[in-house]
């Protein structure tokens, strides 16, 4: 099943896909023109994994990491399908990142790799924007790069894990204004979904609603205000966002 969460008619609703349209839990079918899409589940801790695709590592002329490079993201960063993502004034390079997002379904501690997927509730698409101007360290991006308001989109659907037999065999694609700019496959991950769950749960307890953003393939390009960015993953759908200008208060740049 493909599940969603939306704001509509003054309330937040759970919904699902029915013949390509939204249907609320009570059976109503809302007019999508009046819908605000939210992340399709209620996110808890957000783990983001850097440099996890072999082709992207080669693109940046780095050596593959010896262990997962993980950092956290705050709730302010999260938005849903069709959200507007601000581009600060005066920057030179802001780019998307199409990522498979793994949603944990139950408490997981010291999970072994062969059983790790049993702890997954489902999968969704993430588009995790970054601003290269502020990047000091690819291995541990600072807050100005990766914890910006409305810069991490999730959705539109949470697809049940049972409907994704092998998360390591999915194609990914990004288009900017209808032009394909990024293509890849989850098979190119350095650390698989199961390895990431094993790694994280070895030293901390993962809980229901925790989400792991698993990295992006090569092909990230600069985006500007007015650009429509669509990130797609096989079996999960398409996640759309619009880049908007965001001048700083008082006309000051960061």
The percentage of residues in the chain with a pLDDT greater than 70, rounded to a whole number, is: 94
Strands across the sheet containing 179-185: 83-88, 237-246, 228-233, 171-176, 179-185
Split at pLDDT 50, 70, 90, the class of 137 is low
In this prediction, residues 196-207 reach a mean pLDDT of 98
| Alpha carbon 95 to its chain's center | 13
DSSP alpha helices (H): ranges in the chain? 54-59, 143-146, 193-201
> Which residues fall within 8 angstroms of residue 212, CB to CB, at 6 or more apart?
47, 49, 101, 102, 104, 193, 196, 197, 200
Sign of the dihedral through C-alpha 219, 224, 228, 231: positive
Bridge partner residues of 176 (DSSP): 179, 229
Residue 48 has pLDDT above 60, yes or no: yes
Q: What is the pLDDT of residue 105?
A: 98
Q: Which residues of 218-229 are buried (b: 16+ CB within 10 A; e: fewer)?
A: bbbeebeeebeb
For 1-38, the fitting CATH number among 3.30.1950.10, 3.40.225.10, 2.70.98.60, 2.30.30.370 is 2.30.30.370
User: What is the Cα–Cα distance from 18 to 8, expressed in whole angstroms?
Assistant: 17
41-247, which class in CATH? Answer: alpha beta
Residue 140 has pLDDT above 70, yes or no: no
In this prediction, residues 137-141 reach a mean pLDDT of 64
Q: What is the pLDDT of residue 165?
A: 94
Q: What is the pLDDT of residue 250?
A: 56
pLDDT tens digits, 1-38:
999 999 999 999 999 999 889 999 999 999 988 999 99
Q: What is the pLDDT of residue 160?
A: 97
pLDDT tens digits, 228-250:
999 999 999 999 999 999 866 65
pLDDT tens digits, 57-114:
777 777 888 899 999 999 999 999 999 999 999 999 999 999 999 999 999 999 999 9
Residue 122 has pLDDT above 60, yes or no: yes
Domain boundary assignment for the chain: 1-38, 41-247
Q: What is the pLDDT of residue 182?
A: 97
Q: What is the pLDDT of residue 99?
A: 98
The percentage of residues in the chain with a pLDDT greater than 90, rounded to a whole number, is: 81
Stated length of the chain: 254
pLDDT tens digits, 185-195:
999 999 999 99
The residue ranges of DSSP E strands in 51-151, in sequence order, are 69-73, 78-79, 83-88, 94-95, 98-104, 120-128, 130-131
| Alpha carbon 99 to its chain's center | 5
pTM, rounded to two decimals:
0.94
User: What is the Cα–Cα distance from 123 to 163, expressed in whole angstroms?
Assistant: 9
């Amino acid at each position: 099943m493909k599940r969603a969460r939306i704001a509509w008619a003054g309330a937040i609703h759970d919904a699902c896909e029915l013949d390509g349209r939204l249907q609320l839990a009570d059976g109503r079918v809302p007019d999508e023109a009046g819908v605000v899409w939210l992340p399709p589940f209620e996110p808890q801790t957000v783990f983001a994994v850097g440099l996890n695709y072999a082709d992207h590592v080669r693109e940046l002329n780095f050596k593959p990491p010896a262990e997962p490079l993980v950092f956290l993201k705050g709730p302010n960063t999260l938005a849903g399908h069709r959200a507007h993502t601000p581009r600060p004034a005066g920057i030179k390079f802001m780019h998307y990142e199409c990522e498979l997002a793994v949603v944990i379904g139950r408490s997981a501690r010291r999970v072994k790799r062969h059983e790790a997927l049993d702890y997954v509730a489902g999968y969704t698409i993430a588009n995790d924007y970054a601003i290269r101007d502020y990047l000091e360290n690819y291995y541990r991006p600072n807050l100005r790069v990766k914890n910006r308001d409305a810069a991490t989109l999730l959705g539109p659907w949470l697809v049940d894990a049972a409907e994704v037999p092998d998360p390591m065999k999915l194609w990914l694609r990004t288009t900017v204004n209808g032009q394909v700019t990024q293509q890849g496959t989850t098979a190119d991950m350095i650390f698989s979904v199961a390895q990431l769950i094993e790694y994280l749960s070895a030293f901390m307890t993962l809980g229901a609603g925790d989400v792991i953003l698993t990295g992006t393939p090569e092909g990230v390009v600069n985006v500007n205000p007015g650009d429509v960015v669509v990130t797609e993953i096989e079996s999960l759908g398409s996640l759309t966002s619009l880049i908007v200008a965001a001048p700083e208060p008082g006309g000051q740049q960061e």
